[in-house]
Structure 1
Amino acid sequence: MTMSPPADRGQAVGLIIFVLGLGTLLPWNFFLTASEYFNQRLKSNITSNGSSGVAAKDYNYDSWMALLSQLPLLLFTLLNSFLHHWVKPRLRVAFSFIVIFLLFSLNAALVRVPMQPDTFFSVTMATIWFINMASAVLQGSLFGVVGRFPSRYSTLFMSGQGLAGLFAALAMLFSILNTSSEADADRSSAALGYFITPCVATLGTLLCFLLLPYLEFARFYLNKHQSQSVEATLELCGPTDKKVLENGSKHQEANGKLFREPEGDQERSSVLQVFKKIWLMAMCVTCVFAVTLSVFPVITLRVRTVYQDNSVWDKVFTCVCCFIVFNAFDLAGRSAPSLVQWPSKESPLFPICVFSRLVFIPLLMMCNVETSNLTILFSHDCAFVTIMALFSFTNGYLATLCMSYAPQLVRSKDCETAGSLMSFFLVLGLALGASLSFLLVKLV
């Protein structure tokens, strides 16, 4: 017996999943690209009598931000991997979106509130922790939900996440171009935009998620793991009919048709059993993001242009060559697997390509980093942009392949578990990279 899934009319489900990917990372990417705003407020170490003679304290904001964002991501993504059987995705996702909305509203309210740097640093670190705590549950839940759909929807979700970073970087560029270096009011307005925009995007994404179960195509895949009705049918059938039903029900997707496996074979595998099947993809996605976050943005943010006499270019260099180049090529890399998937998941070249990205760490450290202790081999802007383009494209391409290949290595019943596990190892890579960034920033 075959069951044909309904058509995704107007690609509505594909669009919603793309928007979910966009809305998942857009808030944090806006927070990430607002690093200049946070650093500027932390440098304004003014005493009570208005004197600015006291040397500004070095808070090492970028490294602490990276570490305190990845630790809750790691812990709560792991927690979500064990709790997703007991708490419905609809509740987990809605709660996470609401928490993120409230925390970004708080940051928007604090933009115009004068605070001492120590207090501001403590409040900022606390909000970073709780934002990423909610984001961990949100991403882990959505990766599990998307894992129930055909593999191309995973690519759409990853592409949406890539576009989120590009939007945030472009917003950063526009705010730099439209803000006078001496206008505090304009700086405050730009900072408000960093936090108000994610609030609006979060509410819109939540509405899209709540709409998803009402679409027939989405409902088919979201409910196909429920086997009560099939079991009841088998109990009512005679021995001959039962055998026909069981033999004709393989739970695989081929040419748009769904085949169900016998229910006896459809018990969920344990987390360890699923991990044994996807361990290579898990290690690969960990390596991809560990390499990326070890140098981006902590090291790349400190690279300076050789054309410092050009005040306009010097002003936008970091935004364009660090954030926009990274996010544009990362988006291209995330979208490329919809056209070509090489190497294949069975190829020994795949892990070789992943681990070869380690070469980007010394390459970026030997660019024109401000006050660097290392030998600068790539001082020109073009060299930095070229390295950044390859660095970001391979990040998006290989990460998307990992996330797409993993569910293909397990049975359909275990796709949600595989998606949640891959989300955990993705975050593990981010945490390892954030930790490594502390050492690398000392070296340069």
Structure 2
Amino acid sequence: MATAGEVGSPTRLQGKFKATCVCWILGFGSLVAWNSMLTIGDYYYSVFPKYHPSRVLTLVYQPFAIGTMSILAYHEAKIDTRKRNLAGFILFFLSTLLLIVVDLATSGHGGIGPYLGICAFVACFGVADALVQGGMVGDLAFMCPEFMQSFFAGLAASGAVTSGLRLLTKAAFENASSGLRKGAMLFLAISAFFELVCILLYSIVLPKLSIVKYYRAKAAAEGSKTVGADLAAAGIETKEVDGKDQERLTTKQLFLENIDYGADLFLIYVLTLSIFPGFLYENTGEHGLGSWYPLVLIAMYNVWDLISRYIPLVDCIRLESRKGLMIAILSRFLLIPAFYFTAKYGDQGWMIMLISFLGLTNGYLTVCVMTVAPRGYKGPEQNALGNLLVLFLLGGLFCGVALDWLWIIGNGSF
């Protein structure tokens, strides 16, 4: 497909800063609902103390995310990105509202019925995550790298902001009647609001920015069929072009050429999710911070994960070597024995330092891989590669969540 009219070069177009901000907010909205679920884990532990909610809900979430993403990655060239992303944000919005409804209907009481209902909506979060994250990464892969970096910074910011708010709500409601529940409902309400904002920004604001129209029109000229609805929303007509102009590498070829980048993302998140968040809630023991301890650990991880996603903006300290990335990622696995011995023998200061380093390396390496991998490809290929990379990322998340259970199996904590 190609544009019917000409679109200027990106050096003469307006809206890069605004587009970067919108990408940040869309990244924030892509994970704020799920991060709210993780952050209010102490509430769910008080309501469902025997059901390991932090681990179980994460394990429910991931199969639906990776299963949906596998289907979408296979059919990415035929799926309209606009419809896909809007469907994801709407599903996030509705699922978050229904979580509030379930809690209100049961008056915050436990039991297997409400727990299964929560699990069902968490599964919807997984589907929505695959729709949005794969769709957005594929879309941003053929735009300037700053948009991709900003989107992933927004993903991390959702964790940092929810952790900060959780500390504030715990302090505000700690001595109040049903304080945990009030804080949890406030979190879910805030999440629903941001999902609504994302729906409006993606559907109305982003398509009309000049620089975004340029990149989407360029991708259409290179044969992309996924941007048609977004270009139509911006008032740009498209038309078919010769088959030769639509030639592109197959998904299999892209997979083989970038298998090391996929392995990078898989290994990053296998390690991270084997520790975060289940280990922090159930395997770090009792310390001076008491019930604040897991919340502080999660907050420190999220803050350093956010900060580290801006480090690659500095060219001289951005890691681009394929071999260097793999060495750095494999070196992170030394953190497993470090966490084990720190939980067993160390004090809370050492654990806070370790979890901060986990967040620092997670965010930095993720952005390095995601911004380097799409270089040198045409728009349709970059969209396909973006979907493949997200599939590897979600695969790492799923395996990490499964391996996280080994901590409690080893301790005989069932």
Mark yes or no: TM-score above 0.5.
yes
2: CA distance, partners of 1:263 / 1:3: 24
Kindly report structure 1 stretches of 4+ aligned residues shifted beyond 6 Å.
none
* 2:80 aligned partner, one-letter code: K
Aligned 8 A contact 2:339 2:354 in 1: yes
Cα–Cα, structure 1 residues 341 and 410, in superposed 2: closer, same or farther, change >3 Å?
Answer: farther
Match of 1:19, as an amino acid? I
Relative to structure 1, the CA distance from residue 183 to residue 201 in structure 2 (aligned partners, 3 Å threshold; closer, same or farther) is same
Give the structure 2 partner of residue 22 of structure 1: 28
Structure 1 residues 110 and 273, CA gap change in structure 2 (3 angstroms):
same
Contact 1:366-1:377 within 8 A present in 2 as well: yes
State which of 6, 9, 14 in structure 2 corresponds to 1:4. Answer: 9
Match of residue 140 from structure 1: 134
Distance in 2 (CA, whole Å) between partners of 1:111 and 1:139 is 28
C-alpha separation in 2, matches of 1:432 and 1:352: 20
Report the secondary structure of 2:310's partner residue. helix
Q: Which residue pairs with 1:275 in the alignment?
A: 255
1:293 matched to 2:281? The reply is no
- Equivalence for 1:398: 365
Matches within 5 A, 1:56-75: 58-75=50-67
Uncovered stretches (5+) of structure 2, i.e. residues with no partner = 1-5, 224-241
TM-score (norm 1): 0.81
Question: In the aligned structure 2, how far is the partner of 1:94 from the partner of 1:413?
Answer: 20
Contact between 1:343 and 1:350, CA under 8 Å: does it hold in 2?
Answer: no
Contact 1:73 1:132 in 2 (8 A): yes
How many residues get paired? 383
Per-residue deviation, 1:265: 6.1
Structure 2 Cα separation of the partners of residues 130 and 190 of structure 1: 23
- 1:33 pairs with 2:39: yes
**Aligned letter for 2:97?**
S
Measured on the aligned residues, the alpha-carbon RMSD in Å equals 2.2
Residue from 212, 218, 225 that aligns with 2:219: 225
- Alpha-carbon separation, structure 2, partners of 1:84 and 1:417: 6
- Residues 236-385 of structure 1: pairs in structure 2 closer than 5 A: 264=244, 267-302=247-282, 303-304=284-285, 306-307=287-288, 313-320=289-296, 322-340=297-315, 342=317, 344-368=319-343, 376-378=344-346, 380-385=347-352
Residue type of the alignment partner of 1:384: M
Q: CA deviation at 1:59?
A: 1.4
The answer to whether the Cα contact below 8 Å between 1:147 and 1:416 also exists between their aligned partners in 2 is: yes
Is the contact made by 2:142 and 2:378 (CA closer than 8 Å) also made in structure 1?
A: no
Look at both structures and tell me which one has the larger radius of gyration over its CA atoms.
1
1:47-86 equivalences in 2 (<5 Å): 58-86=50-78
SS of aligned partner of 2:20: helix
For 1:346, the aligned partner's letter is S
Hey, what's the Cα distance between the residues in 2 that align with 1:228 and 1:363? 48
> CA shift at 1:88, angstroms?
1.1
Query: What is the match of residue 197 of structure 1?
Result: 190
Q: Distance in 1 between matches of 2:14 and 2:281?
A: 42
Using the alignment, how far apart are the partners of 2:350 and 2:198 within structure 1? Answer: 38
Identity of aligned residues (%): 20
Question: How much does 1:24 deviate?
Answer: 0.7
Return the alpha-carbon distance in structure 1 between the equivalents of residues 293 and 51 of structure 2: 24
Structure 1 residues 9 and 277, CA gap change in structure 2 (3 angstroms)? same
Please give the per-residue CA displacement for 1:292-313, whole angstroms capped at 9, x wherever unaligned.
0001111122324532xxxxx4
Q: Separation in 2 of the partners of 1:279 and 1:431?
A: 18
TM-score by length of 2: 0.87
**2:200 equivalent to 1:207:** yes
1:99-178 pair list within 5 angstroms: 99-114=91-106, 115-178=109-172
Structure 1 position 39, deviation (Å) = 1.4
Tell me the distance in 2 between the aligned counterparts of 1:16 and 1:228: 25
Q: How far apart are 1:173 and its partner, in Å?
A: 0.6
Cα distance change on mapping 1:410 and 1:346 into 2, 3 Å: farther
Structure 2 equivalent of residue 417 of structure 1? 384
Q: Distance in 1 between matches of 2:407 and 2:180?
A: 31
In structure 2, distance between residues paired with 1:105 and 1:2: 41
Distance across 2 between alignment mates of 1:277 and 1:69: 30
